[in-house]
Structure 1
Amino acid sequence: MRRFIAFFVLILLVATSAIALKVMATINPYYMIVRDIVGDRAEVSLLIGPGQNPHVFSPKISDVKRLNEADLVVANGLELEAFLESTLEELSRKGKRVLLAGESVPPSLLSEEEDGHGETDTLEHSHSINPHVWLDPLLLVDHIIPAIVEALTEIDPESGSYYGENAEKISGRLMYFYGEAGMYLERFRGGVVIVAHPSFSYFFDRFGIVLEPVLEGVGDEPSIQELKRLVDFARSEKVIGIFSEYQQSKRPVEVLAGEASVGSGSLDPLGISRADIIDHFRWNLEEMKKVFGER
């Protein structure tokens, strides 16, 4: 009986140690990627739900507690999680491993976004880095996923090969998607899409499609003058589609779509109810196909 109890305790300890590693991702795309890289060798949790806007997310005391309990925090950085920055810096000072995955992308590959509206000389505009790098499959494969594997391996070196193998599988599927998307989107190269927010700038730029954002900053709304300009612009032959976003105000995009005879739809940068990162990309590509058609 004692041997049986000792054996049971040993099995319990092994099972507990196998998932002792705790990883927290700030946004859903990184949660999906990390979850599929670690498999059953870590417990992965999500901080900001995919229906929330990470630009304006402010952590509660319970959120800070969960962050402190994690062995590794995977955030985007690049000022995406603006109200989390001080908390993440404090975690780093305490010796916690915090990976700002977006900042693994070389500065030369980052693009700027403009904050502000209007065309008058008196209106000041500020420029900041566009943080939505996870929406470019090649940036994921070349920079972000390797950075995640490196961070995981640093805190769990025994599983490094396992993490690397899983990452290679994800990267292979992302490259297959990239080829598939390229075959479809090539015919629209040089076209313009009007978007609610410049989240998909990296994605569309990768395929030679130009973005015209309705909302440049966070939580702002275009003026009547700006909406009129966008309506005239939307009626031009260059515009091939208009997209709202699930986490942004849909009203300006609905106004534009109603005034211009251009197809419209909704994109989702954070992957609401998506199975994994590939499903996330495919879902958005299908939304684009509904708007662009087969011309």
Structure 2
Amino acid sequence: MKLLMSFLLALLLVVPGCSSEKKQTDGKIQVVTTLFPLYDFARTIGGNRATVTLLLPPGVEPHSFEPRPEDVVRVNRADLFIYTNAAMEPWAANIISGLDRGKVEVVEGGKGIPLMQGPVSDQHRCEHDAHEGKGVDPHIWLDFDNARTIARNILAAYVARDPANKAFYQQNAAKLDGQLAALDQQYKETLAQCPKKVLLHGGHYAFGYLARRYGLKYISASAVNADAEPTPAKLAELVQVMRREHLNYVYTEELLSPRIAETIARETGAKVLMLRAGHNVTKDDLQRGVTFISLMEENLRNLKTGLQ
């Protein structure tokens, strides 16, 4: 696969007209990001001095994303390529291996953030998976203190690329940092007042950081790997938890099937609420101008409802 990607990349780069994307000459920093939180932070900090694009097509679930040769070409035309970490985007390694590292700066947004462990499904529990890093929760941005670190890493990349406009990037980053700090405080205050502390999620293990920071017990139907399916025994266990904890809501997530959450809801008489992990957004979301902050504010409203 890597050899094929490299060959196609070379072909696309040397054949005129194979890509409609041209290197910008307006003086702006060209940035390609993998996930929506990185995209939103990068466009906020870069302001009108950067052109920021999202590598994932709208609505695509990132865990199953496979980069195409034209994606590698697109990143090669950038100044900065920003990804989260190797656990979140293992497919980014193929892109990075094909880059001209003398021209494209690779930025690990999650640099310096320790990863927490999450559950591993039985079918993935083996020695090979331990070496591959499965079972590590990569959704670091859902602890908003981590989100602030990601923003600082992006700021550092901008300043290194364009030191003459350091003050401009710092001003934008400071405003974003204040918004994330306020969001963090809002979560702490609101969730501390909720009488229920159990967050039951009918999807893959994505909200461990959020639960740990804000004092919730988090139970998911599936493990960290998004393709895992809960067993009948696991589903029965979740139904018992719903009844024992007197939970009236079960959560589902965007871009993945709500089938499991709906099954649990039918068995318990509960209702289903959306909880956004924020990896990616739909085309409609992009068109209506959602931000990471607005998505997380929506989450807080749904958490407040579900934990009453």
Category of TM-score, reference length = shorter chain: 0.7 to 0.9
Please state how far the C-alpha of 1:93 moved relative to its aligned partner.
4.8
| Equivalent-residue separation in structure 1 for 2:58 and 2:144 (angstroms) | 19
Describe how 1:49-64 pairs up with structure 2 within 5 A. 49-64=57-72
Gaps of 5+ in 1: 1-14
Partner of residue 203, structure 1: 210
Taking a change above 3 Å as real, the CA distance of residues 16 and 66 of structure 1, as seen in their structure-2 partners, is: closer
Q: Identity across aligned pairs (percent)?
A: 27
1:138 aligns with 2:145: yes
Please state how far the C-alpha of 1:65 moved relative to its aligned partner.
0.9
Are 1:101 and 1:144, in contact at CA under 8 Å, matched by a contact in 2?
yes
1:148 aligns with 2:154: yes
Partner of residue 84, structure 2: 76
Taking a change above 3 Å as real, the CA distance of residues 79 and 92 of structure 1, as seen in their structure-2 partners, is: farther
The structure showing larger relative contact order (alpha-carbon pairs under 8 Å, at least 6 residues apart) is 2
Question: How much is the aligned-residue C-alpha RMSD, in angstroms?
Answer: 2.3
Please state how far the C-alpha of 1:150 moved relative to its aligned partner.
0.6
Give 3-state SS (helix, strand or coil) of 1:102's partner: coil
Describe how 1:158-237 pairs up with structure 2 within 5 A. 158-188=164-194, 191-195=197-201, 196-216=203-223, 217-237=225-245
Equivalent of 1:116 in 117, 121, 130: 121
Are 2:86 and 2:92, in contact at CA under 8 Å, matched by a contact in 1?
no
Gaps of 5+ in 2: 1-23
Q: Which moved more, 1:196-205 or 1:64-73?
A: 196-205
Larger Rg: 1
Are 2:143 and 2:210, in contact at CA under 8 Å, matched by a contact in 1?
yes
Are 2:36 and 2:54, in contact at CA under 8 Å, matched by a contact in 1?
yes
Please state how far the C-alpha of 1:248 moved relative to its aligned partner.
2.1
Partner of residue 284, structure 1: 299
What TM-score, normalized to structure 1?
Answer: 0.84
* Number of aligned positions between the proteins: 270
Taking a change above 3 Å as real, the CA distance of residues 202 and 50 of structure 1, as seen in their structure-2 partners, is: farther
| Equivalent-residue separation in structure 2 for 1:157 and 1:73 (angstroms) | 18
Taking a change above 3 Å as real, the CA distance of residues 92 and 215 of structure 1, as seen in their structure-2 partners, is: farther
Are 2:144 and 2:180, in contact at CA under 8 Å, matched by a contact in 1?
yes
What TM-score, normalized to structure 2?
Answer: 0.80
Taking a change above 3 Å as real, the CA distance of residues 22 and 95 of structure 1, as seen in their structure-2 partners, is: closer
Q: Which moved more, 1:181-190 or 1:204-213?
A: 181-190
1:33 aligns with 2:48: no
What letter matches 1:289 in structure 2? K
